[in-house]
Amino acid sequence: MFKKLDHPAVYILLVILLGFGIRHFFLGTQVESGGDSSTQALFAATFPDETGRPQALNNYAGKIVVLNFWATWCAPCREEMPELSKLHSAYQHQNVVVLGLAVDDVAAISDFVKETKVSYPLLAADMQGMEIATHLGNNKGVLPYTVIIKTDGSVAETYFGRVTQSLLEKTLKTLL
């Protein structure tokens, strides 16, 4: 019976399971921590807009932020943008901002905005965007991913996949 356990595949499987266990128990608690600590990396970051100008995200601290992680190659991301634009236009004078944080480079976003009108700021975060999304609860690594951040910097709500204006307004109305 123990001779079957002496196979190299068994050792490889044990190492993989050990790795997942360490990630889940030790890193998982850090990734899913709520409140200010999960948004600190976001508000400490600076990313370029579609023209390449750096934009400090700490300019949005103290506002209600609807943060949408997206990419130019993501069809559901592109589909939700008209509703996010409407949401931004409707609430921008109520201390609410919609931000698009792209897992793309500046050139891709620049080309995208030439063909698609978006009323809210779009920033190029490249792969650092997915790292921030993970710290904000995106443990599935999916796009689009949307986070509503309260004025105190804590996370109010998160959404995996395509969102609608009415879905986001349900949370926004409780924060205004």
How far apart CA 104 and CA 135 sit, in angstroms, is 18
Set 45, 64, 74, 101: catalytic member: 74
- Give 14's contacts (C-beta < 8 A, 6+ positions apart): none
Q: Using DSSP, how many helices (H) and how many strands (E) does the chain show? A: 7, 7
Q: How many CB atoms lie within 10 A of CB 112?
A: 21
77 is catalytic: yes
How far apart CA 131 and CA 125 sit, in angstroms, is 10
Contact between 98 and 105 (Cβ < 8 Å) = no
57 is catalytic: no
Per-residue pLDDT at 162: 96
Query: What are the backbone angles phi and psi of residue 144, rounded to the nearest 5°?
Result: -75, 160
Query: What are the backbone angles phi and psi of residue 141, rounded to the nearest 5°?
Result: 65, 35
Residues present in the chain in total: 176
Per-residue pLDDT at 28: 39
Contact between 85 and 118 (Cβ < 8 Å) = yes
Specify the fold of 34-175.
Glutaredoxin (3.40.30)
How far apart CA 27 and CA 152 sit, in angstroms, is 25
How far apart CA 89 and CA 83 sit, in angstroms, is 10
Per-residue pLDDT at 139: 93
Contact between 89 and 165 (Cβ < 8 Å) = no
Per-residue pLDDT at 30: 32
Per-residue pLDDT at 72: 96
Per-residue pLDDT at 38: 77
Residues of the chain with pLDDT under 70: 1-37
Set 57, 77, 106, 125: catalytic member: 77
